[in-house]
Chain A
Amino acid sequence: MIVPLALAGASPAAASDALELSGFVKPTFSAVLRPSALPREQLKVGLASSAAGLTFQGQPLEQWRYKVFFVVGSQTFPALVSARVVDTDNDGAVDRVETSSSGALGDIVRETSVSWVPSSGFRIRTGRMPVPFTSAAQSADVALLFPDRAGPNDLFLADDDLGALIEAGAIGGEVAMKTGVFNGSGTGASGSERGVLYLARFDLQPLGAFSFDETNPLRTEPRVGIGAGLIWHPYRAFDGVGFPRLQINDLRGSVSLRLGLAGLTLSLEGLHRYQFDSLTARPIVASGAYVQGGWRLPSAVEPIGRLGWAAEDRSFAPRTTLWTEGGINIYPAFGNEDESLRDNVRMSFVYQGEHRLTEGESAHGAVASLILGF
């Protein structure tokens, strides 16, 4: 089974191999219908969401671990390679700008971190890594219930970040605390802004250790996870000549509840953002929530469903979006004799609906995804 490097698994004792290699390949076919778009944009069909990931990790020295995780998507972004202005009527005014682009790969590094693990319940990790602000952000890409994370989750924290994280666990993994500092690029702050992002995350699993994997093998004992995360990102924005213009405080909070029993998983997560500054008297307020569930049947079939909601720009012009998703996961290798390999192949067939309630537009998507882990 593919799992993220869990705190409980980071042993300080015996040095293991200097290199462990794992990864996944995820071809994904998607079709998105947006009826009110321009005809060219109304139907998008293809393998644009396909990806492959490769993880190098190991413990070359006692108490020291590393992890390098690359994800390469099939979709390139159009990088501008030339631009020229066009004056079609020779009146001296620019009528349009002609550009040409070439496909380019985006950032493929998801994690490059070094960990110091002096004891089984304590770890200091530094480098580039996912910010563990939500429970979904702590799930490995291959352990998600759906092909992608919930829409509200991406809205509140979209990217990985550079920083340092202290992780501590107690009582056999039933209590986990994380606190760290990051540079804040994952929250959308630009290069002319300076500040440090502070993170705190607390998870309580009163019935025993409960992995952040969103899919649930056929475990019979119940599991409960309660968590909360808080991000505080104070930073200064500077003008073009290098003087400070304003001080910004960006606060984001999350609460989560996870339940697992006999193949049934249920996750609820609520998110809130409040950003204010010293100049504008115009706070940025947004809220979001989602609930998702899946039921792993003994036949290796898992019906899944998810409902997401987000309200942006709540302080001046509220804009509400609703996501409705449902489908099925199939685990073809579930009959494998090696229990650890049973989840390494998963097929997903999902309907994804995005309903922009304020603007009055809906989009409907169908996704067929295959994940093969190794």
Chain B
Amino acid sequence: MPALALLLASGCASTLAPGEWGTFRYFGDILGEPPMRLLPPLTDRDGNIYALYGDLGRADTQVFVGRINGGWSGGCSAHRGIYGLHGFVGRSQDRVWYWSGDALVEVDGQTGACNQILRDDPVSGTELSFLGIAPYIDETPSRRFTYALVQGGTGEPQFLMVDLDKALPFNVVPFPEELRDIAVLGTGAWVAERSSVFLVNWDSEIAAFFVDRFGQIQATVGVNLPPNPQPYTILGYLEFSDSGVGVGVMSTGGVFVLTLQGGGAVDVPFTVGGVLRWGGEVYVTGTDGDEPVIAPVTPGGEIADAVPFTSSITASHTLDRKITVNDERGDPARARSWEAPRTAIGEHPLISPWPLDAYTLWSTGWLVAGPNFDSGVEPVTAVAFAPVGLEVP
């Protein structure tokens, strides 16, 4: 009977209300001060947590891994190339993959180890540059794939499927134009259709390529953008609603909207801060004045009126006080107090161009900054992970 009572009483025991924080798990001291060079964290199916440090302009990408039952790895570095961190590619049962520079990196959730995969062409030995990787893992019981636009040396760019278990390329499709000098502006994934999207600029042309789960180009869509945009002008990724509207934040501050009918920049009457995909819908997030707001994107690609983003507002207010964190940097974990916590990512919680993880169906993961000290080069700040309740209008 006690177990039955517990079963009935626990129905909502583990859920978080919108804007409510879960346990703060202090995992490391990281270069920088808020807003820090950190992406919204990701979890695998087992519940291991992955926090990525870095940005597009730096080569010091690092990943921290928190295990489901507590305890964190100290940080693993894997990066290659001129550009820096692009973002997470996706997750599986007990691992995730991220894209940093020209490298595709696998992170093991049990050990915290990170390793580049498919660094070289397995036949020619040529070093492969991942110009673009879709933020999508096509996972079945027998295989796991992601989709990429890759260039070997100065050869022609190619779309291909990457078998993540065998670290092998499959279904290689040459880029349709006979060009070697292309610039990737952004990538995305239309998960509902298992489609990967690559936004590419060559000469004066810009187009979005939709690649299906078998690695074949299923659609090419012309895009209207000002000429000569800078590479990786889409911050984070293009995030697609189930109905097929992709939205991304541009480095110039605007919003980019893409459908199978076309794409282009869209004006938004508030300061854009991020994109949120939740429950099969996409939203544009940002601030109006200093208040966090959220605006749904309609199936037609229009951005509806913004309303207060209550989850972000509540989460901000909850940080206006002393918090207790679980210091998991070493065993055993200890409780510590942080006097003036702040969001470690961006200006407001839950607003980011990078995808937010479905930590649960009613919460996501976020990073919170605590006290810092000066290392002589740059401040070093204590950072904790915490789940936070999320609700969209």
Instruction: State the A residues within 8 Å of B (CB).
Output: 34, 36-38, 41, 198, 200, 230-232, 237, 239-241, 243, 245-246, 249, 251, 253, 274, 276-277, 279-283, 313, 315-317, 356, 359-361, 363
Q: How far is the CA of A282 from the CA of B25 in the complex (A)?
A: 14
Whether A361 lies near B141 (C-beta < 8 A) is yes
Is B69 in contact with A230, judged by CB distance below 8 angstroms? no
Total A-B contacts with CB atoms under 8 angstroms apart: 108
Q: A38-B143, A230-B4, A241-B332 are in contact. Are A282 and B387 (CB under 8 A)?
A: yes
Chain B residues contacting A360 (CB-CB under 8 Å) are 140, 194
Interface of B: prevailing SS: loop
Q: Is the CB of A239 within 8 A of B332?
A: yes
Q: Confirm or deny: B2 has a beta carbon within 8 angstroms of a beta carbon on chain A.
A: yes
Also in contact, A282 and B71, with CB within 8 A (given A34-B142, A232-B2) = no
List the A side residues contacting B143 at CB < 8 Å.
Answer: 36-38
Q: Is the CB of A359 within 8 A of B141?
A: yes
A360 to B361: give the CA distance in the assembly, Å: 21
**Are B10 and A274 touching (Cβ within 8 A)?**
yes
B343-368 contacts to A (CB < 8 Å): 358-361, 363
Contacts A38-B143, A251-B6, A274-B7; A280 near B23 (Cβ below 8 A):
yes
* Complex contacts, B15 vs chain A, CB 8 Å: 281, 283
Chain B 322-340: CB-based contact to A (< 8 A → 1; otherwise 0) = 0000100001110000000
Q: A240 to B23, alpha carbons, bound, how many Å?
A: 21
Give complex CA distance A198, B2 in Å.
10
What is the bound-complex CA distance between A65 and B208, given in angstroms?
73
Q: Which of B285-340 contact A (CB under 8 A)?
A: 326, 331-333
**How many residues does chain B have at the interface if contact means C-beta atoms less than 8 Å apart?**
38
- The CA of A315 and the CA of B358, in the complex, are separated in Å by 9
Interface presence of B377 (CB below 8 A): no
Tell me whether A316 and B361 are in contact (CB under 8 A).
yes
Q: A280-B387, A283-B14 are in contact. Are A359 and B331 (CB under 8 A)?
A: no
Query: CB < 8 Å: which of B2, B69, B142 contacts A237?
Result: B69
Known: A276-B13, A280-B387, A282-B14. A253 touches B7 (CB 8 A): yes
Q: List 16 additional contacts besides A41-B142, A230-B7, A237-B70; criterion CB under 8 Å.
A: A37-B142, A200-B3, A230-B4, A232-B6, A241-B332, A245-B332, A245-B333, A246-B69, A253-B7, A280-B47, A280-B68, A281-B23, A282-B360, A283-B13, A313-B45, A356-B140
Q: Would you give the shortest CB distance from A266 to chain B, in whole angstroms? A: 27
B169 in contact (CB, < 8 A): no
Closest CB in chain B relative to A134 CB, distance in Å:
16
- Shortest distance from the beta carbon of B82 to any chain A beta carbon, whole Å: 21
Complex Cα gap A251–B6 (Å) = 8
A-B contacts, 19 of them at CB < 8 A, read A34-B142, A36-B140, A38-B143, A230-B7, A232-B7, A237-B69, A240-B331, A243-B333, A246-B70, A274-B10, A280-B387, A281-B15, A282-B43, A282-B47, A283-B360, A316-B360, A359-B139, A359-B140, A360-B194
